[in-house]
Chains A and B, each alone.
Chain A
Amino acid sequence: MNELVFFINNVVIAGSVTGSIYAIGAIGVTLIFSIMRFAHFAHADMMTFGAFMVLLLTTLFPAAGASIGVPTALVMLPLAMLLTAALAVGIDKAFYKPLRFHGVKPIVMVIGSLGVTLMLQGLIRLFSGTGGQSLYVDDRKEIFRIALPIEGVRAPIVITEPQIYLFVITLVAVVALHLFLNRSRLGKAMRAMSDNPELAQASGINTNTIVAVTWVIAGGLAAIAGTLLSLDVTFKPDLSFFLLLPIFAAAIVGGVGHPYGAIAGGFVVGFAETLAVFNWHVLLRPFRDSLPTWLELPSNLAFVSTEYKIVVPFFILVAILVWRPTGLFKGKVI
């Protein structure tokens, strides 16, 4: 049973954590894709920017959270979401809108977003330095150890405070997004524009408002994802290139332009990553005695070592592009 607890700690919990973060990131990417029809490469840096804003605000007011009993970083999250949303709208106005207005091909927008990526990266590194920093400035990271009431189980299930917040916030964000897209007027207009921009415009939807709303949502979600990731580990300014591939893989696996697909894709990629780096030898250990003697198991049975983790989303991406380019849930645009 100890092995099972180990499995839960290292795969179920870790996979859900990475999966949630990828899912929130991929929702933003897929929304932008469905409204503006281009792959937004600067998304991972918007995540980093959101986390950096939280870090900045937390360092400025380190005691703000203690009074209500939550980490300061979480108190600052709504503010950082607003700032990131403002940044996203500003970037759109300054860089993407002129390109869109000129009627360029989507791939030129992609290059433009890469330029924005570099600018954001440069700014963040200029102000934060290149090292990692913890978002827990004044608070302490709580770690819960839940011992299982079963005979012979010594190892507890370990879950940290930010991970619990992560699950709660992910759930709230997904439900809120669902309600927004299905119940509100703006959300319905957004779906209409994603289906058919010309028709939406002809039926009196203000497409400029929709674009701005999309950026606000994408920016807010990016801030959530970046902050939660940085809470779970540490804040690093060079996260972006390692986040981009899993997030895009998640969006494409779920079917581009399909928010619920993006959630599923995020968890698929997250769990695939953790399963691939998990050492399966641990699970086989209880059956050691029943295995035939000629079979000598090596001590490392992981599919890929941690350094090659980035290979996993890439191969998921390649596999989905080869066998089902529309994604698992039939995205709208290929």
Chain B
Amino acid sequence: MSQSTRTRNPAYTPKDATPQRRFPLRELVLFGALLIAVLAVYALMGAAYSTRMLVEAACYAILALGLTIQWGYAGQFNAGVMGFVALGGFCAMLFSVPVNDAFWGTELPGELGRVLLYGVVATLIVVGVTKLNRFGVPNKLRTIIAVVLAVVLYLVVISLLRDVTGQIQSQAGFVGGFGLPAWTGWIVGGALAGGVGYFIGHVCLGLRSDYLAIATLGIAEIIKAFLKNSDWLTRGTATVSPLPWPTPGPAELGFTLARALYLSVTAVVIAVIFFLLHRAYHAPWGRMVRAIRDNEVSSAAMGKDINKRRLEIFVLGCILMGLGGGMLATFNSLFDPQGYLPLNHTFLVLVMVILGGPGNNLGTIFGAVAVYIIWIMSEPLALALMQLAVFIGEGWFGWEPPRNLESRALQARVFVIGLLITLVLRFAPKGLLPEKIKTHG
């Protein structure tokens, strides 16, 4: 942009830079309003429903914390939160669902293991062939050999895999779970999401920031397509349910108490994450990350390893998303790959972060809970508004409403989320609780 706009909107004004110990009026007002809203929902919808809403909001808060690390701390835009959430949900399902004896009792696990071993061996062979130039094979010839071999071996392995997975599907239904406690699934889900994040980040983080958005958008759709179509692994569209809870379920304690117990688990997780992030943010590491975000060239000149820090941040955010996704799936007690939608699991989280205040953990949690309440409440509201429109349309103009009105009314929410994103970016780019910028020195 031109020089004039830059001087009109400086990144820091001296007012921002001076540390102020002020009374946290804004925080108190916002959280007070939030408390009133929560109490109103309790009064209107009953305790069981409202507690459920709070648990889901808490899970979303973990996702939002993951995104606020990436977007707020480091300025990386992840447009594929959904994919990492789905990975977390998948791991929670895989680890906690009871063991399927129809699968483990047969020779199928051995077959599957054999095919996976073939896959590993084939990968090793191809990797080995790419090193052939060290033994005097010309580079061009090596590339040709490697590509042809990779294609042939891939076709062999993939057709073996298709055979085995087809058999699993027809004989055992799906592989079932490991029957372990749910929290093991959450941790592995976080690790898996972090691994995928490492791969994506490794490819994209050195390039333009737009490329990361494109690649994450793509990987999210791929993860969803994989989970949806791998019936042998996830039962695909047939969905897996119920997923066991780590806490006593509603059957023993009743809905409200069981959900309240789950809420306390999520609250502890959020508190731990919040504490660790708070420490990291104020540590030298956090300062370095923000320095890279605000002025890449100068931090490179100071000898900071920019790409490595970026990768750390990105992977950390993805881990949190996987963890939150696992907790969400376990709470819903349902793993439905088709239920992962870009709107519900990417853009809703994005709105939470940019509305609450990117880079401000407290603001992010506020944004998560507030936006989730609005989101949940908007469904009956949208239906009511649509019914009103139909009533007026029928009565005054003799308009014949289309049949699938409910599904169309819910599309209005897509519009509202989009409008909210653009408006916040335009009028409140720092969110409701802006990141506090301090000088250290």
Contact = CB atoms under 8 A, between A and B. Distances in A.
B85 interface: no
Given A107-B210, A110-B77, A241-B342, A118 B347 contact: yes
Contacts of A104: 425, 429
A242 B221 contact: yes
A300 interface: yes
B402 interface: yes
Contacts of A117: 418
18 contacts: A41-B217, A95-B426, A103-B1, A103-B2, A103-B6, A106-B208, A116-B418, A121-B415, A123-B415, A126-B411, A130-B404, A130-B411, A242-B221, A280-B155, A300-B159, A303-B154, A307-B228, A334-B208
Considering residues B219, B229, B411, B413, which has the most beta carbons from chain A within 10 angstroms of its beta carbon?
B411
A129 interface: yes
Considering residues B209, B210, B354, B417, which has the most beta carbons from chain A within 10 angstroms of its beta carbon?
B210
Interface residues of B, number: 58
A301 interface: yes
Interface string A197-224: 0100100000000000000000000000
Contacts of A102: 5, 9, 429
A108 interface: yes
Contact of B418 (A100, A118, A298, A308): A118
Given A242-B221, A321-B207, A322-B203, A116 B422 contact: yes
A112 interface: yes
A310 B222 contact: yes
Contacts, number: 167
B414 interface: yes
Given A106-B210, A310-B221, A311-B225, A318 B404 contact: no
Interface stretch (A59-67, A78-86, A244-252): A244-252
A38 interface: yes
A1 B414 CA distance: 51
Interface in A103-161: 103-108, 110-112, 114-123, 125-126, 129-130
Given A119-B419, A245-B214, A108 B429 contact: yes
B171 to A, nearest CB: 19
A122 B209 contact: no
A27 interface: no
A114 B417 CA distance: 10
Interface string A310-322: 1101100110011
B306 interface: no
B87 interface: no
Contacts of B154: 303
Contacts of A101: 5
Contacts of A95: 422, 426
A22 to B, nearest CB: 14
B19 interface: no
Contacts of B415: 118-119, 121-123, 126
Contacts of A300: 159, 162
B178 interface: no
B9 A325 contact: no
Give the bracket for the number of chain A residues in contact with chain B.
Answer: 35 or more
B215 interface: yes
B163 to A, nearest CB: 8
A114 B219 CA distance: 17
Contacts of B204: 321
B213 interface: yes
Contacts of A310: 218, 221-222, 225
Interface string B1-25: 1100110110000000000000000
Contact of B408 (A105, A115, A125, A248): A125
Given A99-B425, A112-B422, A118-B418, 7 more contacts: A41-B213, A107-B75, A119-B414, A129-B404, A308-B222, A310-B221, A325-B207
Contacts of B162: 298, 300
B49 interface: no
Interface in A277-318: 280, 298, 300-301, 303, 305, 307-308, 310-311, 313-314, 317-318
Interface string B405-431: 001100111111111111001100100
Contacts of A129: 402, 404, 407-408
A28 B135 CA distance: 47
Nearest to B414: A122
Interface string B81-123: 0000000000000000000000000000000000000000000
A98 interface: yes
A158 B1 CA distance: 52
Interface residue SS majority, chain A? helix
A117 B416 CA distance: 12
Given A107-B77, A112-B421, A118-B347, A245 B203 contact: no
A7 B416 CA distance: 46
A110 B210 contact: yes
Contacts of B433: none
A311 B228 CA distance: 14
Interface string B145-160: 0000000001100110
Contact of A111 (B159, B404, B425): B425
B388 to A, nearest CB: 15
Interface string B193-215: 00000000001100111110111
A41 B5 CA distance: 25
Given A110-B213, A252-B211, A314 B219 contact: yes
B210 A38 contact: yes
Nearest to B413: A122
A333 interface: yes
Contacts of A118: 343, 347, 414-415, 417-418, 421
Given A298-B159, A321-B211, A334-B207, A111 B225 contact: no
B222 A111 contact: no
A229 B209 CA distance: 30
A39 interface: yes
